[in-house]
């Protein structure tokens, strides 16, 4: 199956600043993928490389099996500030989209505008942040791309507008089968809509893979203080110790059968935070879940 995004040792430097450092990824097509990481981790850089707006410094990147080319009709991109033309009305955005894009789906565009309650006669400059985000998503989706890249599409939205936006996105992906890669700091939102996740910290991929496998394969262990032994079979993502107690976040596909540990489940936000903390403490290294190799 063609990958939506494949990178090999992908590196991007701006002058002396390294934004992405030897990132290797293989994201299968047909998924909604969350891209998370702290400020400055390299998320926007990765998305801009994926749509051909930037060229790699070293390594390789492919989207849908091809080298990214800016303006490709197969790949849609909505930049961080949900770009719309302030002086044009909603209806004029749709007319412009139809004029510029041979694959324009006018039915989809008009139906979505009505669904999200946008007034076709309203100038985009007078729309709220949430309405602008909906307009930008509609224009990007009506081009019928096979892969849609969204850079923090919900950052400016209130919780209700975020939910409406993400529901709309899920409906679009369900009916079109398009792949989506979406960056966000709001992991709880991503958990609701994404089935794959990429965690980027300090310019490096910390983990990438299927969300259910991530949830099943990570555990918080709490028990009497001890050094973490070699050969435990666990990958220790984060650890903290008091005088009497050790707390670990570990990755293990095998069950934890040592009764001296209390084993707790983690949600996606806990897992992402553990990778961020682990990487900040110098423990970060690239991990790829089974099925992603
Ligand atoms: N045009 C540029 N020139 C120089 N450095 C840049 C440029 N764009 C990004 N950087 C640097 O590259 C690194 C990664 O930036 P990037 O915008 O990709 O991160 P991000 O994960 O999207 O961050 P945020 O969550 O804050 O949007 C940062 O250190 C940033 O300062």
Ligand 1 atom closest to residue 41's alpha carbon, by position in its atom list: 21
Condensed to tens digits (0 to 9), the pLDDT of residues 162-185 reads: 888 888 888 888 888 899 999 998
Q: 45 CB under 6 A from ligand 1?
A: yes
Q: 168 CB under 6 A from ligand 1?
A: no
The pLDDT of residue 285: 45
DSSP 125: G
Complex ipTM value: 0.97
Residue-range domains of the chain with CATH? 3-202 (3.40.50.300), 212-286 (3.30.70)
Condensed to tens digits (0 to 9), the pLDDT of residues 119-132 reads: 999 999 999 888 88
Condensed to tens digits (0 to 9), the pLDDT of residues 192-207 reads: 899 999 999 999 999 9
Ligand 1 atom closest to residue 42's alpha carbon, by position in its atom list: 18
Q: How much is the average pLDDT of 265-278?
A: 91
Rg (CA), the chain: 21
Contacts of residue 40, defined as CB under 8 A and 6 or more positions apart, other chains included, come to: none
Mean per-residue pLDDT of the chain: 89
Nearest CA to ligand 1 atom 2: 14
Alpha carbon of 235 to ligand 1 centroid (Å): 29
pLDDT band at residue 135 under the 50/70/90 scheme: very high
Ligand 1 atom closest to residue 47's alpha carbon, by position in its atom list: 18
Cβ-in-10-Å burial (0-12, 13-18, 19+) of 78 comes to buried
Q: 184 CB under 6 A from ligand 1?
A: no
Helix, strand or coil, per DSSP, at residue 242? coil
The pLDDT of residue 286: 47
pLDDT band at residue 137 under the 50/70/90 scheme: confident
Q: How much is the average pLDDT of 53-67?
A: 96
Q: 153 pLDDT exceeds 90? A: no
Instruction: In whole angstroms, give the CA distance from residue 27 to residue 196.
Output: 8
């Amino acid at each position: 199956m063609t990958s939506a995004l494949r990178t090999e040792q992908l590196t991007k430097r701006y002058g002396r600043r390294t934004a992405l450092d030897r990132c290797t990824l293989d994201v299968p097509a047909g998924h909604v993928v969350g891209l998370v990481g702290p400020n400055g981790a390299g998320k926007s850089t990765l998305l801009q490389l994926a749509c051909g707006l930037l060229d790699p410094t070293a390594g390789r990147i492919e989207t849908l099996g091809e080298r990214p080319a800016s303006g490709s009709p197969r790949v849609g991109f909505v930049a961080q500030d949900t770009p719309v033309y302030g002086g044009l009305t909603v209806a004029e955005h749709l007319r412009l989209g139809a004029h510029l894009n041979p694959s324009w789906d006018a039915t989809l565009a008009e139906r979505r505008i009505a669904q999200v309650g946008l007034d076709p006669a309203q100038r985009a400059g007078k729309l709220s942040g949430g309405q602008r985000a909906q307009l930008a998503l509609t224009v990007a989706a009506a081009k019928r791309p096979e892969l849609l890249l969204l850079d923090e599409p919900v950052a400016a939205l209130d919780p209700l507008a975020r939910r409406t936006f993400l529901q709309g996105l899920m409906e679009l992906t369900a009916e079109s089968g398009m792949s989506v890669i979406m960056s966000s700091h709001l992991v709880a939102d991503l958990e609701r809509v994404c089935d794959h996740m990429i965690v980027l910290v300090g310019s490096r991929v910390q983990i990438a893979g299927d969300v259910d496998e991530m949830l099943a394969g990570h555990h918080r262990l709490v028990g009497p203080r001890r050094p973490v032994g070699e050969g435990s079979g666990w990958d220790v993502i984060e650890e903290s110790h008091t005088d009497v107690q050790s707390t670990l976040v570990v990755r293990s596909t095998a069950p934890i059968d040592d009764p001296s540990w209390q084993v707790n489940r983690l949600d996606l936000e806990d897992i992402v935070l553990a990778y961020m903390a682990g990487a900040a403490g110098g423990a970060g290294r690239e991990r790829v879940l089974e099925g992603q190799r």
